[in-house]
Amino acid sequence: MVLSHRQETDVRTPIRITEVGPRDGLQNEPGIVSTETKIAFVNALSQCGVAEIEVGSFVSPRAIPQLADSDEVFQRIERRPGVIYSALVPNERGLERARAAAVDKIAIFTATSDTFNQRNIHCTVRESIGRFRPVVSQARQTGMAVRGYISTATHCPFEGPIPPSRVTQVMRDLLDLGIEDARAEVLGVRSFIGRCHCGMQSTKINAVGNRDDRMRTDIRRSLNCGGRRVGRTESGCPSALALEAAHK
C-alpha cells in the first residue's frame, strides 16, 4: 500500500507501508495461533495492497513458540505478485531457515540501549552489530534485501531517555553493514513528539511505527523529518511489553 503525504508544496510523496502484524503482533499472543489461521491472515493481507508483509520469525522456537511454524506458513501462503514476504532473522541459522522457506527479505534487530539488548537478545549493541555482519553479507550475496530494526529509539525502560546521537550512530552502523533501510521503534513508551532524529538525511532512514493511539502523531513527525516507510502492527515485542509493564 502506498499512501501520500501532502507537503506545503502540495507535492504528494509516496509512503511505503510494511504490515508486520503476522510476526510482531502474533508473537505476543498468550496462546498459539493455529497455522491455518496464520496462513489465512497473511493471504487476506496480501489482498489489501500493502507493499510488504512480515510473515514470521526464524528465531528459536524456545524463545518465541508462537512463531515456531513460520517455515510451514511460508511454504503454504498464496504469494501475490508484487508483494514482498519477509521474516525476522536473528543469526546465521535463522538465515538458513529463511532461505529454505524462500523468504524475499529478512529483518535484523538491535537497540540503542545495551541494557535492553542484553535482556532481549543477550548481547550488547556492539556485539549485535558484529553478529549481524555475516548474516547481512550472506543475504546480500544471494540477492536478499535486509531491513534493520532499532528498538528504544527515544526511551529505554532501564536507561531512560535516549539521546538522538545514539540512534544516529546505531543507524550508521547498520547501514554500513549494507542493509536496505533502518527503522527506529519507540516501543510505545514515549511519544515521538519533539524527538524526531533529523541528524541523518538518507532516504534509508524511515518512519517510526508505534503500537498505541500515538502512532498517527509519531508517523506525521517522522514524515516531517523525511521518513517515507512505515511499519504497522497491533502488538509488539514481548520483551518490550514485559519490560514496560514492570516499570509502570
Instruction: Grade residue 197 by pLDDT with cuts at 50, 70 and 90.
Output: very low
Is the model more confident about 78 or about 191?
Answer: 78
Q: Are 147 and 139 in contact (CB under 8 A)?
A: no
Residue whose C-alpha cell is 550488547 = 124
At a CB cut-off of 8 Å and minimum separation 6, what does 207 contact? Answer: 15, 183, 219, 222, 223, 227, 228, 229, 230, 231
Number of CB atoms found within 10 A of residue 82's CB: 8
What pLDDT does 113 receive?
95
What single-letter DSSP state applies at residue 67? G
- CA-nearest of 93, 101, 18 to 60 is 93
pLDDT at 9 over 60: no
pLDDT in tens, 37-84: 999 999 999 999 889 999 999 999 999 999 999 999 999 999 999 999
Nearest to 23 by CA among 241, 243, 245, 235: 235
The domain total for the chain is: 1
Could you tell me the CATH number of the domain that includes residue 87?
A: 3.20.20.70
Q: Tell me the residue range of the domain where 155 lies.
A: 2-246
Q: 16: how many CB neighbours lie within 10 A of its CB?
A: 18
Residue 69 CB-half CA count within 13 A: 15
